[in-house]
């Protein structure tokens, strides 16, 4: 079989690849994984069953675990005591023969085993190569391969759930279904053109339009999940703003449930932006504590202020804090102006009136008037009040204007979104032209284009660049 169908390189003999599949370092076990035709012959050369018996390749039973030792084949020198898993094709991760050697988890031992395996003819696997072979051998499609990375990287339940659904083929089925509807429509449109003498009736324009609208609505439904998909995959950027000493770092630490940021009564304690991730009710927030917004007095403050401005560009939720135990001053007002200058970006802002345990000095109605908000959260970090309210508000704000799917399919991959947008654009284009006397062969051309974009999501049609992009994101040994 020539598995490298995208590189136009003819491979006579399939490679056998090997890698350390567990993280490098000290651990309970370390696994060397080998896939390809040489894997079981290699096992036969270096494995001694129960520390004694050499087995010939065909003596190993598939999907069995063997206890024994790994030895240097020419000298019989002991390398490690192991468990050896044998999995014969085709029911394996790659659809090739796979062996996994479970070593004791020290760096040196697994490296030695890997070196030996390489000497015996295996080549070191590239990042993601096992999964790439699974794709090239047709066990999974490209969207499922991508789900594998997402599962590895998932840091919250929802993200994991949606990636597992994608791995099970959820997106693939949906895309293939859509594609076959478009291809079928195209065939019907082209038939009278291809066989003009057979008297095949031309398809009614209204029938074409109906199918197109159905398909478009399915594409739109998928695209509607993108925002939510992004939230569960990448987390929500939440920036804490306020002048110095209002309690930003104190809040940051409370939300984090640890003393990460230094808190003192001295203004200007925080000089850099500090970023940490927290999980609120299953959602990941990337929380950013900032230095107080004030006129920079030195280069450190200057850089810090630039960083804050940067975060303001792509933050999704903003917590804006005021210390109500002091009168509203120029610095508060400068901050309000700064935030307002972002007005056209529809900023999700949560206003906090902090230090309510102290006597109030601030003119609250003026604050509200300047901000143009009525709803604020009264808080005392010292007394730990208002914090739960804030946490709920953070989630509400993050999900504002976001369609939250009931479950099932969520598009959380920029690559998929990109191709779906092209399909959306093309289908909308045909629909808008269908009643203006557009020629059938133009419609056919557009439909072919749309079908092709869908095929790129599943990898049915793709080029080397797409493949390299997808698999370069993987870790070694997967």
Ligand X SMILES: Nc1nc2c(ncn2[C@@H]2O[C@H](COP(=O)(O)OP(=O)(O)O)[C@@H](O)[C@H]2O)c(=O)[nH]1
Residue span binding Mg ion (CB under 5 A) among the ranges 47-55, 240-248, 308-316, 389-397 = 240-248
**Cβ proximity to ligand X, 217 vs 295, nearer residue:** 295
Q: Is the peptide bond before 90 cis (omega within 30 degrees of 0)?
A: yes
Task: Tell me how far, at minimum, the Cβ of 254 lies from ligand X, in Å.
Answer: 9
Task: Identify whether the C-beta of residue 262 lies closer than 8 Å to the C-beta of residue 314.
Answer: no
Kindly state whether residue 249 participates in binding Mg ion, applying the rule CB under 5 A: yes
Q: Note whether 477 binds ligand X by CB under 6 A.
A: no
| Residue with Cβ nearer Mg ion (16 or 250) | 250
Among the listed residues 35, 270, 284, 304, the single contact to ligand X using CB under 6 A: 270
Q: Residue 68 touches which of Mg ion, ligand X, none (CB < 5 to 8 A by kind)? A: none
Q: What is the DSSP letter of 379?
A: -
Which residues neighbour 22 within 8 Å (Cβ) at sequence distance 6 or greater?
29, 30, 31, 105, 110, 477
Apex 380 CA angle, 254 and 315, nearest 5: 55
Q: Is 391 helix (H, G, I), strand (E, B) or coil?
A: helix
Q: Is 144 in the site for Mg ion (CB under 5 A)?
A: no
Q: What is the CB neighbour count within 10 angstroms for residue 186? A: 19
How far apart are CB 294 and ligand X at their closest, in Å? Answer: 10
Beta carbon of residue 263, minimum distance to ligand X (angstroms, whole number): 4
Give the span between the Cα atoms of 43 and 455, in whole angstroms: 39
290 binds Mg ion (CB under 5 A): no
CB nearer to ligand X: pick between 168 and 264: 264
Coil, strand or helix at 423: helix
- By a kind-dependent CB cut-off of 5 to 8 A, residue 30 interacts, out of ligand X, Mg ion, none, with none
- Tokens 């797409």 correspond to what residue? 466
Assess 250 for contact with Mg ion (CB under 5 A): no
Task: Say which entry of ligand X, Mg ion, none residue 428 contacts (CB below 5 to 8 A, set by partner kind).
Answer: none
> Residue 354: which of ligand X, Mg ion, none does it interact with, CB under 5 to 8 A by kind?
ligand X
Binding mask 204-243 for ligand X (x = CB under 6 A): --------------------------------------x-
Which one, of 391, 359, 442, lies nearest residue 186 by Cα?
442
* 335/322 Cα distance (integer angstroms): 10
Name the one range near ligand X by CB under 6 A: 48-56, 70-78, 85-93, 261-269.
261-269
Task: Count Cβ atoms within 10 A of the Cβ of residue 450 and give its class: 0-12 exposed, 13-18 middle, 19 or more buried.
Answer: buried
Stretch near Mg ion under the rule CB under 5 A, chosen from 34-42, 86-94, 115-123, 264-272: 264-272
Site for ligand X in 2-31 (CB under 6 A): none
3-state helix vs strand vs coil in the chain, percent to 5 = 45, 15, 35
Shortest Cβ 361–ligand X spacing (Å): 12
Taking only Cα atoms into account, the Rg of the chain, rounded to an integer number of angstroms, comes to 30
For residue 458, state whether it binds ligand X (rule: CB under 6 A).
no
Interface with Mg ion, residue 270, by CB under 5 A: yes
Rounded Cα gap, residues 444 and 199, in angstroms: 19
The answer to whether 248 contacts ligand X (rule: CB under 6 A) is yes
The torsion defined by the Cα of 459, 464, 470 and 476, in degrees rounded to 10, comes to 120
Given ligand X, Mg ion, none, residue 381, with its beta carbon under 5 to 8 Å by kind, binds ligand X
Residue 273 in contact with residue 293, Cβ under 8 Å?
no
> What's the rounded Cα separation, in Å, for the pair 371 and 338?
11
- 359-418: which residues touch ligand X (CB under 6 A)? 380-382
- Binding segment toward ligand X, per CB under 6 A, in 20-28, 118-126, 257-265, 272-280: 257-265
Q: Which residues contact residue 333 at a Cβ distance below 8 angstroms, ignoring those fewer than 6 apart? A: 370
Residues found near Mg ion in the complex (CB under 5 A): 248-249, 269-270
Residues found near ligand X in the complex (CB under 6 A): 242, 244-250, 263-265, 269-270, 292, 354-355, 357-358, 380-382
């Amino acid at each position: 079989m020539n598995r490298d169908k995208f590189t136009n390189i003819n491979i006579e003999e399939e490679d056998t690849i090997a890698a350390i599949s567990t993280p490098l370092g000290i651990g309970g076990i370390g696994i060397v994984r080998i896939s390809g035709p040489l894997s079981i012959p290699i096992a036969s050369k270096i494995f001694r069953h129960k520390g004694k018996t050499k087995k010939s390749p065909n003596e190993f039973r598939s999907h069995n675990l063997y206890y024994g030792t790994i030895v240097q084949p020419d000298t019989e020198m002991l390398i490690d005591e192991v468990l050896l898993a044998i999995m014969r094709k085709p029911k394996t991760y790659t659809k090739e023969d796979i062996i996994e050697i479970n070593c004791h988890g020290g760096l040196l031992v697994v490296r030695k085993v890997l070196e030996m395996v390489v000497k015996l003819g295996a080549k070191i696997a590239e990042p993601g190569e096992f999964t790439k072979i699974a794709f090239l051998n047709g066990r999974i499609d490209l969207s499922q391969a991508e789900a594998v990375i997402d599962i590895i990287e998932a840091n919250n339940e929802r993200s994991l759930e949606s990636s597992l659904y994608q791995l099970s083929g959820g997106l693939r089925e949906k895309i293939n279904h859509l594609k076959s509807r478009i291809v079928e429509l195209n065939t019907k449109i082209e038939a009278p053109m291809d066989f003009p003498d057979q008297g095949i009736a031309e398809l009614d324009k209204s029938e074409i339009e109906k199918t197109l609208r159905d398909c478009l609505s399915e594409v739109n439904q998928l695209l509607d999940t993108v925002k939510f998909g992004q939230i569960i995959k990448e987390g929500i950027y939440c920036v804490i703003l306020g002048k110095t000493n209002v309690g930003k770092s104190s809040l940051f630490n409370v939300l984090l449930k640890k003393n990460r940021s230094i808190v003192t009564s001295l203004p200007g304690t925080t000089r850099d932006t500090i970023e940490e991730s927290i999980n609120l009710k299953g959602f990941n927030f990337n929380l950013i504590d900032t230095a107080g917004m004030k006129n920079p007095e030195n280069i450190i403050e200057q850089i810090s202020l630039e960083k804050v401005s940067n975060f303001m560009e792509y933050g999704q939720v903003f917590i804006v804090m005021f210390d109500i135990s002091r009168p509203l001053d120029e610095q508060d007002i400068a901050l309000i102006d700064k935030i307002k200058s972002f007005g056209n970006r529809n900023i999700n802002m949560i206003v906090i009136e902090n230090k309510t345990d102290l006597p109030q000095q601030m003119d609250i109605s003026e604050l509200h008037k300047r901000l143009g908000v009525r709803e604020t959260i009264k808080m005392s970090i010292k007394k730990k009040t208002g914090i739960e309210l804030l946490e709920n508000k953070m989630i509400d704000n993050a999900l504002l204007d976001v369609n939250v799917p009931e479950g099932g399919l969520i598009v959380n991959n920029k690559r998929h979104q990109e191709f779906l947008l092209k399909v959306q654009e093309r289908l909308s284009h045909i629909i808008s032209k269908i009643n203006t006397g557009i020629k059938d062969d133009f419609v056919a051309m557009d439909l072919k284009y749309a079908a092709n974009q869908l095929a790129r999501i599943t990898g049915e049609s793709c080029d080397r660049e797409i493949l390299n992009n997808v698999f370069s994101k993987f870790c070694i040994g997967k």
